Amino acid sequence: MRVTLRLFASLRTGRFDEAEFELPPAATVGEALDAAGVPRLEAAIVFVDGRHADFDHPLAEGDSLGVFPPIGGG
């Protein structure tokens, strides 16, 4: 199945803004990050089709992921 990953903020540096990945059926959010080369520790928040999802959330064909780094400054 194909899913789209969109990276935000500093996660784009040296990677991509948005890219498609081919994953095995029912692959998880965490596995999508692994396939995209985004270390799980750098991915503070993941949204799937605009809703928060945990790393073990199973994906479906055509899902669109948004991935954010931790932003903690004030």
Partner 1 sequence: MALADFLAAAAEDEFLPFGAELEAARRFSLDAHEVEGAALRAGLLPERYARNAGSIGLAGQLALHESRVAVIGCGGLGGFILEGLGRLGVGTIVAVDPDRFEASNLNRQLLATVENLGEPKAEAAVRRLRAVNPALRCQGLVERLDASNADRLLAGCGAAADALDSIADRLTLAAAASRLGVALVHGSAAGRFGQAATQLPGENGLARIYGGAETKRGIEAELGTLVFAPMVVAGFQVAELCHLLLGEEPGLKGRMIALDLGFIETSVFSL
Residues that bind partner 1 (CB under 8 A): 8-10, 41-42, 44-45, 47, 50-52, 66, 68-74
DSSP letter for each residue of 2-68: EEEEEE-GGGGTTS-SEEEEE--TT-BHHHHHHHHT--GGG--EEEETTEE--TTPBP-TT-EEEEE
Q: Give the nearest distance from C-beta 10 to partner 1 in angstroms.
A: 5
Q: Give the nearest distance from C-beta 36 to partner 1 in angstroms.
A: 18
Q: Give the nearest distance from C-beta 37 to partner 1 in angstroms.
A: 17
- In DSSP terms, 3 is beta-bridged to 21
Q: By C-beta, is 10 or 25 nearer to partner 1?
A: 10
